[in-house]
Structure 1
Amino acid sequence: MSLVADVIAAARKSGKDRGDVCGNSGSRSPMEEIMKRAEEARVGVCQALTDRYCNLTVALQDTTHLHHRVITALKDLEEAQSNIKNEVVGSVESSVGEVGGIVGRWREVVCTLSAAQTLLNIHTLLEEAHQTQLDHNFLTTARNLAQVEELIAAAAEEELESQLEILESLQEELVVRRHQLLYTIAEVWTETITWEEESHSSGSRSVTLVIKSQSAEQLSEVQQILGALYMLGELTRKVKQLGNNLMTHMIKPIITLSTSVKASERIDRFALEVITESTATANKPSALTVFSSLRQVFEVLFKCLLRCPIGKEEEGLTLMQLLGKQIGTEMTDILIKDCLAEAVPCSRKQLGEYDVVRDATQEFQTYLAGLGFYDPEEKSIIEYASNVDVVFSNKACAHHLERARELMTRPVHVTVSITPLEPGGKLVIQDEAGNKLDHTMRLEKLLVAKTFNLPKCQISKSICELVELLYEVLDEACGSAPAYAGRLFYTVRSILTLYCHVLPIAHAHSLATLPQYAAVVHNNCMYLGHHALLLGHQYKDRLPKDLREYSLTTVDLAHQVRQMAAAIFLKAMQGHRQSILDSLREAPGLDSAGCDASAVAGAEQGMRQVLHQLQLLHRVWQNVLPHTVYTKAMGTLVGSVVEELVLKVVGLEDISADAALALIKLLNMLKEQVPPLFQCEKDGTTHIRDILKRARMRGRICSTAMPPGTTKYNVDWEGQDDGPLAHEFTPDEAKQLIRALFQNTDRRAQVLAKIK
């Protein structure tokens, strides 16, 4: 009799004698036998799997035998369960306690057998995964490994891990199998997609993407690879790597450089080659060329690789969609910045040609959306291309600023002369149409044509072009829409502001070393500031009507430009003055010339050096600066030299007759050499008396008062407070001068006592 028959017979006997204790023990003995056999099966399975995965012992026959025993035990258990439900349940109602114990032990048996079944399922899945991996059925392998991971996780949640120590070893085996699968997939992926780079002697460079030709079977293999990577969570990383290579070697060069695309197909492969020309001879491609090349690239990629579906069919996900998520935003930004922005014209004359680019952009966007690269709701490229008014105004204003900056950084030594206009009648005031305005204010009627003319001087050609640019921008603003006209007017203001910031930095070295540079830059700034004063008034009535009610002026910026001109020339003047005074102060013998006439020879050498520097500035400045500016600048420098000489003479004491004659010769040298520095080409004379009146008076007093002229001028110096000493010297300087010029006598003491 079988084990199940024994259990049923014992149950029937127990039903006849409910109170008989023997009947109870008869039913308990077969259940214990079932538990014993289940435990033996569990122990056997654990031992077999431990030998396989922990102890690395191959016991395939034992495992098969144990598997058969487990299946037999499960069938016996199911048959016993069915008979108990049909025949024993009614009899067991009177023995609730006994049935509860049997059910509890039965549940333990079920848990034990379930654990054994879980281990067997894990083992079976691992074996199948190994075989499918060898057959390159990677998707099935990934699914089996995913099921193994789920079974191990379920066992851990059911707290079977404490009973089944082999789970830890199975977890390690799962990790090893995953890495083996990823390594195998990587090898196949590398064989499928390869990159070849080559540099040519002409300076060009080519990058070729070779894709293994995809027949129906090979396409299925690629789909297997992609599906496995998707299930393993590694597909995003692979697609990102592919996208980075495409951006670096193909998409970016096509957009930013001059390239050509060649696609070829053979029996076993597709080849996509991008040839980049040498940067020395390459020109930036047009937008139409870029769209054509990119479309050719995406056509080849979609045909042989990117059309493969990924994941479940209901998801409808393709490799092209994943690629678009990875590089779509980056490609859009580069396409807008380096292609569409360059295609926008800088003038309204070329604006009509942009319609072709806009249509090509729409077609390219639609094509990529159809492939799945772009989301249907993505409209960044189309919106940028369609919003041409804003893009055009930004581009035009940026172009004007860029051109202005280029003019500001040009060398300023290439100069032209400007001359004031001859009087030609009253000032002509224009209306908004450019015609003469008859009704003017009284002040305008009184002004002559040359009221706002600059004096004759030299300015650089670059500043002339910059001023012409300002007028071109304002002329364009007069015929534009109010919004764009306003931007153009403020672009003019930005150019003037930019000039104040760029010029001192761009020409800092030349301004510090070349005298002509400072003079020309001074004239340039004055010329630019002069025009900036009148820009707003000239175009006020010619701008669009919506702008006329606003105060549009550049007078404030004209003041800034003029201040910069004065500051630059003043700094240069300070440098020249310091250099001249250093030459005079460093001349040997001037400090000791009062008692040693031979020491004046060294001072004479220093004076000749000073005169040489002044003559050099005369040659550089005379034809560059306006005459009034030149005379003031040269007069300031000459006055500084005279002041320094007077201070040196005043600092001496008890000058001897020979030394006095030598000093007089030194002062006469300066007196003779200075007038030619102030000659004007117009009339050949100069107003040097007004320029150097005080300096010449101080020098004349020093030269004529020295011995032997002491006796002649001695009486004059004893005059009232309105004498020459009182006008030209302070009391301390007058006392020191008397001590230097006169010997120490009672009469000198009386004169010094009178000076207060």
Structure 2
Amino acid sequence: MASFVTEVLASSGKLEKEDFTGKISKLSRKVEETKEEVCDMINKRYNEFLPSMQGAEALMGEAENLSKEIDILKSCIETEVNQNLTTAVTEYSKLKQQLERNTTVIAMLRHLEEFHIAMEQFHESLLEKKYVIAAEQLQKAGHSADSLKAWKGSELPLLRAICSELTVQRENLIYHLGDEWKRLVVWKLPPSKDTVSHTSSETKGEKSFVKTELHLTLGGTKEVEQSPPPLLACVLQALDIQGELQHKIKLFSQLLLKYMLKPLISHPYLNVEVLEQQGEGTLLSLQCADTTEEHPSPSQVYTKVLMVLKSLHTNLLDVSVGERKVSLILGELIWQEMSHCIINECLLYSIPANSSQLEHYILVIKETEQFEKSLKEMQYLQVDSTELLKYAQDVNCHFASKKCKDVIVAARKLMTSEMHNTVKITPDSKLSVPKLPSPASGDKGKQQAKKPEAYRLENEKQLGAGTLCLPVCRISESVQQLMELALHTLSEAVGSSSQCATQLFFTVRNIFQLFYDVVPTYHKENLLKFPHLAAIQHNNCMYIAHHLLTLGHQFRPHLPDPLSKGAATFVDLVPGFRKLGAQCFLAQLNVQRAEMLERLSTARNFSNLDDEDNYSAASKAVRQVIHQLKRLGTVWQDVLPVNIFCKAMGTLLNTAISELIAKIMMLEDISTEDGEHLHILCQTIIEEGPLVFIPLPDENKNLKFQEEVPVYVKKWITFKELVIVLRATLQEIVDRWAEGKGPLALEFTSSEMKSLMRALFQNTERRAVALTKIK
């Protein structure tokens, strides 16, 4: 034991790992031997009862020595390991870095090998026109180049050359694919607008689309099981791998829309012809057809578009790239623009003009559904609901919108047309009201039929046949057509959906609002300039107001809610139209009144008529006034209703004689000759004034209204009394005054009569006596 420990402790210098291992093994064996001796001793001590105190003490001493040797060895080992640990770690780190560099170099060499192999296979496949393999190998080479770029610490002199070669070969592949595409898809387009002569008509420009042709070749047979696949499929798949397919299809879609699909949709004279050429592919060409239609029908459009798209699907687009078909790529590019073109150029014009034709529009909806179904089968579409089908299904709303637009346009055209073309309105005149369904039936209808008879039995006095009828007059033909347009539009609302009926109803209201705003402004100058038009406008407004009273009640029972519950009314518009007509005519009367007063102002106040110039001026003014009134009577004859005519002429004549009365009453001295001249002038008005009342063409029928002049001319009796006074004596004046009870006293005040007497008669005792009797 002692010699072993001494041997261990005596060793010096660096301990190698093998020495540690050997010595530890020896020590371990020695420990095992000691352990056996201890166990043997304990066994003898307690089991065999052989006490050996001395042996035990010696053994304990030996164990203690062994423990010390272990501690010394442990300390020695720890010292050696700590000294060499740093050195070992450094050596291992260098070895690891060298190994990693070697691994990196090997990986880069492997990528270079993969790049080289991929490029070799690329060139072979490209020469053999195996474009899919070539694209895949080029893509693989690109991945290898990307892997080489990923190591930032690596700087290969060949890396720049590799990237350049990769770019060149990618462009080379795209060029070859583009060249193949040009051979497989050949367009023959019409000449551009720049090359077309400016003298050519628009029709020639449109029909130049006839020169459009599209030639499709598969580059192989159509058999699905063929190997290798057709050239077309290879080209499309290779383009997709290189990320160029979307761009190619986009350019193709733009040409397809511009030169084939849109012309077929927009022009009814264009048809498409599909010709299968043996061994050469398929030829699609636009052909011209004779037609008089302005817009093609939906069925024609769907047929032509499907013919084109089916040919494209069969000969070009039925190829899978990734998880989708090429047809879907094209569909996503053209669908929105194509569907909008179909809506605006075809479906818009197919909307019925009358509600009776709406039932037949179901066929168009079915055709639209079938059209979209065919596109889904060819995988041009994926969505279930599109704007095209929604537009066709919302035919009621589009019908109402189209109808409303057409109605407003027609109404505005009528409002801006000439007003002087008139039609005569009589109590028997009736509008062509569309036949409406009877709101009552059965017993209820019979009870309603009996009510008027019962009413006649209970009431002796009956309303006249002309009650609530318009008086005889003339209105513009355009206004009568406007009212018929309103009636026809309301009849379209009967039986329509609530939304459609409401839209049509308020369009009719808008017609009348438009009339109220447009006509007075558009015809403003003419309404002030021409009395004839002012009278017609007055009648037009009253005619419209008359029909607006009952128009809503007439249609309300036949309209859907909420119109049938009271919303369908036009009564609120009536006061506005009556006021509009009255204001228009009053404005014309004011113009005529101003002209009349201006003419009378040239009469030199009817003074000193013994002077020939003064008398001539006064006579001329009176004649001009009479002529003006006669001219107005002729213009308004058979146009204005009789009562309005008489009131208007009476108002103007009353203005003239009121001005004349005022001028005469202002005179302070009227000589005998002046009185005679004034009498002559006034007598002219008395004789010819009634003759302006000619409301009817038949002269014999006008006598009645000429005899009723005092009814319409407020100052007529006053004027006649003045004429009598101008030639009367003092006694005759006193007699007609009759102490304030005579006809003269009813028209003049005592002060007015005294002033007139002082002007007519000289200041004598007889005049003074006569003046005392005027009180």
**TM-score category (smaller protein):** 0.5 to 0.7
- Look up the match of 2:24: none
How far does the alpha carbon of each residue in 1:686-722 deviate from its partner, in whole angstroms, 9 at most, with x for none?
2332332248847986x889999999989999x99x9
Could you tell me which amino acid in structure 1 is paired with residue 546 of structure 2? H
Paired residue secondary structure (1:437):
helix
Matching of residues 732-743 of structure 1 within 5 Å: none
Contact 1:243 1:326 in 2 (8 A): yes
Partner of 1:40: none
Shift of 1:364: 1.7
Deviation of the 1:271 alpha carbon:
3.3
More displaced 10-residue stretch of structure 1: 118-127 or 690-699: 118-127
Task: State the alpha-carbon separation in 1 of the partners of residues 501 and 313 from structure 2.
Answer: 47
What are the equivalent positions in structure 2 for 1:229-628 lying under 5 Å apart?
A: 230=240, 235-236=245-246, 238-265=248-275, 266=277, 267=280, 270-275=283-288, 282-309=293-320, 313-318=321-326, 320-347=327-354, 349-386=356-393, 408=415, 411-420=418-427, 432-433=440-441, 437-439=449-451, 446-468=462-484, 470-471=486-487, 493-501=509-517, 503-504=519-520, 511=527, 514-538=530-554, 550=566, 552-577=568-593, 590=604, 598=613, 601=616, 611-628=626-643
Q: Deviations over 1:330-373 (max 9, x none)?
A: 33334345434543444464445334333323322211221222
Q: Using the alignment, how far apart are the partners of 1:187 and 1:724 within structure 2?
A: 116
Residues 679 and 685 in structure 1, CA contact (< 8 A), matched pair in contact too: no
Shift of 1:273: 0.6
The alpha-carbon deviation at position 414 of structure 1 amounts to 3.5
Mapped to 1, the partners of 2:242 and 2:685 lie a distance apart of 96
Q: Quick check: 1:205–1:276 contact (8 Å CA) kept in 2? A: no
Check whether the contact 1:416–1:458 (CA below 8 A) recurs between aligned residues. yes
Offset from partner CA, 1:491-536 (integer Å, 9 cap, x none): 6545544544554466556545544333233323322322221234
* Cα separation, partners in 2 of 1:212 and 1:343, compared to 1, 3 Å: closer
* Structure 2 letter corresponding to 1:299: K
- Alignment check: 8 A CA contact 2:633 2:694 kept: no
Structure 1, gaps ≥5 residues long: 1-15, 20-90, 423-429, 748-756
Q: Structure 1 pair 130/419, CA: closer, same or farther in 2 (3 Å)?
A: same
The aligned residue for residue 193 of structure 1 is 187
Indicate how the Cα distance of structure 1 residues 256 and 268 shifts in structure 2: closer, same or farther if over 3 A, else same.
Answer: closer
Contact 1:206 1:275 in 2 (8 A): no
Does the CA contact (< 8 Å) of 2:212 and 2:259 recur in 1? no
Distance 1:302 1:548, change over 3 A: closer
Are 1:103 and 2:96 an aligned pair? yes
- Describe the shift of the 1:375–1:538 C-alpha distance in structure 2 as closer, same or farther (beyond 3 A): same
Aligned to 2:212: 209
Q: Residue 212 of structure 2 contacts residue 260 of structure 2 at CA under 8 Å; is this kept in 1? A: no
Aligned to 2:549, what secondary structure does the other structure show?
A: helix
Q: Check the 8 A contact 1:705/1:741 in 2, yes or no.
A: no
- Percent sequence identity is 27
C-alpha displacement of 1:627: 1.0
Match of 2:31 in 1: none
Within 5 Å, give how 1:59-70 maps onto structure 2.
none
The amino acid of 1:452's aligned partner reads: L
The letter of the residue matching 1:329 is: Q
1:5 corresponds in structure 2 to: none
CA shift in 2, pair 1:642/1:272, >3 Å: farther
Q: CA deviation at 1:377?
A: 1.4
Take 2:425 and 2:645, find their aligned partners in 1: how far apart are those partners?
Answer: 16
Q: 1:650 to 1:331 in 2, by over 3 A?
A: farther
Cα distance, 1:416 vs. partner? Answer: 2.6
Q: Return the alpha-carbon distance in structure 1 between the equivalents of residues 104 and 608 of structure 2.
A: 126
SS state of the match for residue 339, structure 2? helix
Worse-superposed segment, 566-575 or 629-638: 566-575
| Secondary structure at 2:273 match in 1 | strand
Give me the whole-angstrom Cα distance separating, in 2, the residues matched to 1:659 and 1:164: 133
Task: Report if the CA contact (8 A) 1:477-1:488 is conserved.
Answer: yes
Query: How far apart are the structure 1 equivalents of 2:589 and 2:138?
Result: 86
What's the Cα RMSD here? 5.9
- Matches of 1:149 and 1:707, distance apart in 2: 128
**For residues 139 and 376 of structure 2, what CA distance do their matches in structure 1 show?**
34
1:180 and 1:636 map into 2 onto residues whose CA distance is 99
DSSP 3-state at the match of 1:674: helix
SS in 2 for 1:273: strand
- In structure 2, the CA distance between the partners of 1:431 and 1:356, relative to structure 1 (3 Å rule), is closer
Asked if the contact 1:92/1:99 (under 8 Å) is kept, the reply is no
Query: Rg: which structure is higher?
Result: 2
Moved more, 650-659 or 462-471: 650-659
The letter of the residue matching 2:704 is T
Q: What SS does the aligned partner of 1:283 have?
A: coil
> CA, structure 1 residues 480+117, in 2 after alignment: closer, same or farther (shift >3 Å)?
closer
Question: Could you say if the C-alpha distance between residues 492 and 643 of structure 1 is closer, same or farther in structure 2, counting changes exceeding 3 Å?
Answer: same
Q: Which amino acid aligns with 1:621?
A: W
Per the alignment, do residues 257 and 209 of structure 1 end up closer, same or farther by CA in structure 2, a change over 3 Å counting? closer
Cα separation, 2, equivalents of 1:241 and 1:652: 98
Question: Any stretches of 5+ residues in structure 2 without a counterpart?
Answer: 1-14, 19-83, 222-228, 430-437, 766-775
Q: Is the alpha carbon distance of 1:540 and 1:98 closer, same or farther for their aligned partners in structure 2, counting shifts above 3 Å?
A: closer
Letter in 2 for 1:370: E
Task: Answer yes or no: is 1:685 the counterpart of 2:678.
Answer: no
- Contact 2:709-2:716 at 8 Å conserved across structures: no
Give the total of aligned pairs: 639
The alignment partner of 1:205 has SS state of helix
**C-alpha spacing 1:213/1:668, structure 2 compared with 1 (3 Å):** same
How much does 1:578 deviate? Answer: 5.0
**1:536 touches 1:552 (CA, 8 Å); kept in 2?**
yes
State the Cα deviation string for residues 401-437 of structure 1 (Å, max 9, x = none). Answer: 6665665555443433222369xxxxxxx98357663
Q: Give 1:626 shift.
A: 0.4
Asked if the contact 2:424–2:474 (Cα under 8 Å) also holds between the matched residues in 1, the reply is yes
Partners of 1:484 and 1:275 in 2: CA distance: 39
Question: Aligned AA for 2:703?
Answer: G
User: Residues 270, 665 of structure 1: CA spacing in aligned structure 2 closer, same or farther, 3 A cutoff?
Assistant: farther
- CA offset at residue 674 of structure 1? 3.4
Amino acid at match of 2:273: A
Q: Which one of 630, 652, 671 corresponds to residue 645 of structure 2?
A: 630
Shift in Å, 1:315: 1.3
- Tell me the amino acid that sits aligned with residue 262 of structure 1: V
Q: Which residue matches 2:435?
A: none
How far apart are the structure 1 equivalents of 2:164 and 2:718? Answer: 107
Any idea what SS the aligned residue of 2:703 has? coil
SS in 1 for 2:346: helix
CA apart distance, 1:623: 0.5
CA gap of 1:296–1:471, structure 2 versus 1, over 3 A, is same
Q: Structure 2: how far apart are the matches of 1:229 and 1:591?
A: 104
Q: 1:504 to 1:129 in 2, by over 3 A?
A: farther
The superposition leaves residues 644-682 of structure 1 with CA deviations (integer Å, 9 ceiling, x where unpaired) of 667888999989998888777666655554322213433
Range that drifts further, 604-613 or 678-687: 604-613
Distance 1:242 1:708, change over 3 A: farther
Contact 1:193 1:211 in 2 (8 A): yes
SS in 2 for 1:95: helix
- The code of the aligned residue for 2:710 comes to R
* Deviation, structure 1 residue 622: 1.4
Q: Equivalents in 1 of 2:761, 2:95: separation in Å?
A: 145
Mapping of 1:54-133 within 5 angstroms?
95-104=88-97, 107=100
CA distance in 2, matches of 1:711, 1:126: 142
Q: Secondary structure at the match of 2:217?
A: coil
